[in-house]
Amino acid sequence: MKIYRTLLLACTTTLLAAGCASGPQYKEMAASIPTLASDQGRVYFFRESSIFGATLQPDIKLNGQVVGRSTPGGFFYVDEPAGDYTAATRTEVERTVSFSLHAGETRYVRTTVGMGILIGHVTPTLEDAESATQTIADLKYTGPAGPHDDTPQQKKN
């Protein structure tokens, strides 16, 4: 019986570790994040660590383009021209949040896992700057995807 508990604990630990973000913490890399270009805005996407839904890591799309993944314990950002945007995630259903982004502005999109019929839903919501920056401080940088695939050290403004 003890061997089964040990095996179950090992499997659970492995699954949780595989589902969590890896990379430097925001605190460690904040100084390397480039300043925002005057004609652009910045959007941070983040998700807190949680056992619930850890294996759900859908793509995050911004105006239909994949910009990253909703990874537990992770964050990333993209710089975009001013305009109207829709951030979307899809598991069983698509969940979206729409917002305007102004030049020089920083917006924060939190993704959270909720109950679904067959699998959980990952829902994006806008978060206020104060709460978001406190949360992001302890998260790990996962980097963007697609055309935004630059690390902060490589990105040029």
Judged against a pLDDT cut of 80, whether residue 70 lies above it is answered with yes
> What is residue 36's DSSP assignment?
P
* Range of weakest confidence among 40-49, 74-83, 139-148: 139-148
d(CA 110, CA 114): 13
Domain that holds residue 18: 2-148
Query: Quick one: which of 35, 128, 115, 132 has its CA closest to 75?
Result: 132
| pLDDT score of 18 | 41
Classify residue 154: in a domain, yes or no: no
Would residue 153 count as lying in a domain?
no
Q: Is 64 among the domain residues?
A: yes
Beta carbons of 9 and 44 less than 8 angstroms apart: no
For residue 54, what is the domain's CATH number?
2.60.40.1120
pLDDT at 155 over 90: no
Given this model, what pLDDT does residue 114 score?
Answer: 87
User: Does 157 map to a domain?
Assistant: no
Query: How many domains in the chain?
Result: 1
pLDDT digits (tens, 9 = 90+) for 38-69: 999 999 999 998 877 788 899 999 999 999 99
pTM across the whole model: 0.78
CB 68 within 8 A of CB 145: yes
Residue 11 within any structural domain of the chain: yes
Share the mean pLDDT of the chain.
82
Q: Within a domain: residue 135?
A: yes
Assess if residue 156 is contained within a domain.
no
Q: Which residue's entry shows tokens 């790990």?
A: 140
